[in-house]
Chain A
Amino acid sequence: MKLPVRKFLTFLIPVIACALVPVFVHNDYLMQVFFRIILFAALGLAWNLVGGYAGQLSLGHVAFFGVGAYGLAMFTARGVPVWISIFLAAAAATGFAAVIGLIVFRLRGPYFTLSTIAFAEVLRLGAANLTATGGAIGLSTPALFRPRTFFETHLLSTVQQFYLAAVTLAAVCFVINYATSKSRPGYYLMAIREDEETAAAVGISTAGYKLRALLISAFLTALGGALYGSAFQYIVPDSALSIEISVQMAIITMLGGAGTLLGPVIGAILLLGASEVFKNRFQESHLLIYGILIVVVVLFLPEGIVGGLRHLFRRGMKSKPPSSVAQSPAVAEAKGGN
């Protein structure tokens, strides 16, 4: 695939800008907020492959997130080097996704969503009750980063390094989303979202493509989970396997615009930014803002912010087809009979 230089730059410049933030921001609290925003942008982009392009509303992605976090802790505890553990954990999550996918993709609509939740909940309850996972007490996670100096003078704090890792992950997720949206698999996923029967009628193996999307999504989500687990040094079932994380991934993407490239990024900035403000104001009730935003989006912006804006721009240009379509003056009547 040839990548036009200009498009490459419009992608690279924001990434470099994000990567340079630690040069200017040294406040650990702020860096932590930025880390969470970028991490959830990455998670949203990962979810977008399944929930956005393929239109499968999974609310069980925390399962992969949790396997990533727990996998990292458990593999390193058995002597595996941390960076290998991360990828082992992500591979485990992918394998788990393959098993889940075979079952859940046979189900439709609400049953699909419910079964994804059920899987994630089984995992959470398992982790809470098994000794290998530390039960409800949880596990401590290995540190991926330690403070380090470079150029002798500059200190890069742990949080700053986690932030940079999140930027890298988000960039990878973005590139995968971009490649998907501009290629046959992306079109296939969108066809599956719009109508599975039509998709099958043009020769698309709907089960196969949905599963592939889920595997990639699970792998990326697990990397995010590992990063999260390591950043917070400690994981319990109610943090690393909480259904709230699944909901967040979905909401971020839906708010920004599911099946769009920028949607998850915009959604993460808005939602986590807002929740940060509300956290200081309402403490534990900060999810209230999520609820209100969801209701507003569903009622007024069903295609998300990016989708809504796109409509606004299309209007007046090419939203409505001309009234004479197929040489016949009787077209309008046929439309009425549809």
Chain B
Amino acid sequence: MDGLLTGALYALIGMGLALIFGVMRIVNFAHGAFLMLGMYASWVLFDRYQINPYIAFIPAGIFLFAFGYLVYQSLIRPIRSRSDFMQILMTTGISLILVDSVQLKFGADYHQTNIELVNTPLRFGAFTLNAASLLSFAIAGVLIIGLQQFVVRTRTGQALRAIAQNPAVAPLMGINVTRIQGLSFALGIMMAGIAGALLLPALYLFPSVGEDYTLKAFVVVVLGGMGSIEGAAIGGLVLGVTESVTSLYLGNEWALAVDFVLFLLVLSLKPSGIFGRQRA
């Protein structure tokens, strides 16, 4: 059960990256750093203004959206058509800047966010669930479905899929590729930031807290099959469950290692993802 709850947040993170990497082909190695930024934004709101993280995720998300758009326009757009190599370097650089700027501003100390909800157990027959993680699960669920519907139903979403399928043809159909790319980058960053805000009550906060999540996000996207936003949602749940099973049998400390082994296995055996169709 816990696995599914964490998995929903992984799904959120993974869908964000699926938008940026899977759909827009921008290799974002700074995903975890943006998540960390979302955590800090939410923590500042909590620490200074006593705003509950389950509300603070909204302003934090909006802030991350704007910030993501800015980063896209200033740093990603100029190198959009360059090699993966350059994109990886650029986003690694952005990640280092974000992490160390936060460290400079807020210090390397660990922070904990105590809210009552975290310690409130809810009983459902035999199960005991944590009220806070149930709430973040619900919020994540709403956002996941919302994003999926956005991509499938709205005009912008359709434009987005058109670009993903054929970046060369999209402009001919009157789609402003730059605007849509910027938008989906910002949207993806926002998802990471919101996930960060929702993770805040459950984790200690420190500047490099996001590091593992960059790789986890890629694991989720690869599990779900490249370019598939729905796939990423399922991939997130799979990862969450895998981790909790690993924790149960091998211990918590092995969870991340198992993530990576799973990742390497999927990449080398079935590169189209567990749920992806095999491509020629």
Contact = CB atoms under 8 A, between A and B. Distances in A.
Contacts of A285: 100-101, 103-104
Contacts of B154: none
A299 B86 CA distance: 9
Contacts of B97: 288, 291-292, 295
Contacts of A284: 100, 103, 108
Interface string A82-126: 000000000000000000000100110111011101110110011
B260 interface: yes
Contact of B79 (A106, A119, A298): A298
Interface in A116-153: 117-119, 121-122, 125-126, 128-129
| Best-buried of B94, B98, B267 by chain A (most CB within 10 Å) | B267
A86 B20 CA distance: 44
Contacts, number: 121
Interface stretch (B58-66, B136-144, B231-239, B249-257): B249-257
A291 B92 CA distance: 7
B174 interface: no
B86 A298 contact: yes
Interface in B214-229: 215, 218, 222
Contacts of A297: 89
Nearest to A299: B78
Interface string B74-92: 0100110010111111101
A284 B13 CA distance: 28
Nearest to A110: B27
A122 B218 CA distance: 15
B209 to A, nearest CB: 14
Contact of A110 (B88, B108, B268): B88
Contact of B96 (A118, A126, A288): A288
Interface in B193-216: 211, 215
Given A109-B84, A125-B253, A254 B101 contact: no
A157 B264 CA distance: 45
A165 interface: no
A163 interface: no
Nearest to B99: A287
A103 B265 CA distance: 10
A59 B89 CA distance: 10
Contact of A294 (B78, B92, B103, B264): B92
A298 B90 contact: yes
A128 B75 contact: no
A118 B93 contact: no
A327 B82 CA distance: 34
A234 interface: no
A127 B94 CA distance: 29
A286 to B, nearest CB: 8
Nearest to B218: A114
A299 B94 contact: no
Contacts of B157: none
Nearest to A117: B215
Interface in B159-193: none
A284 B92 CA distance: 18
A55 B84 CA distance: 11
B263 interface: yes
Contact of B263 (A113, A115, A292, A298): A115
Nearest to B97: A291
A299 B100 contact: no
B43 interface: no
B267 A126 contact: no
A134 B97 CA distance: 32
| Best-buried of A110, A122, A250, A302 by chain B (most CB within 10 Å) | A110
Contacts of B263: 114-115, 118
A57 interface: yes
Interface of B: 21, 27, 75, 78-79, 82, 84-90, 92-101, 103-104, 108, 211, 215, 218, 222, 251, 253-254, 256-257, 260-261, 263-264, 267-268, 271
Given A115-B263, A126-B257, A298-B79, 15 more contacts: A57-B88, A59-B88, A106-B268, A107-B267, A110-B21, A110-B84, A114-B218, A114-B263, A122-B257, A285-B100, A287-B96, A288-B104, A291-B94, A297-B89, A298-B89
Q: Which 3 A-B pairs have the closest CB atoms?
A: A294-B93, A291-B96, A291-B97
14 contacts: A59-B92, A110-B21, A115-B264, A117-B215, A118-B260, A119-B260, A121-B257, A125-B254, A125-B257, A243-B211, A285-B100, A287-B96, A288-B104, A295-B93
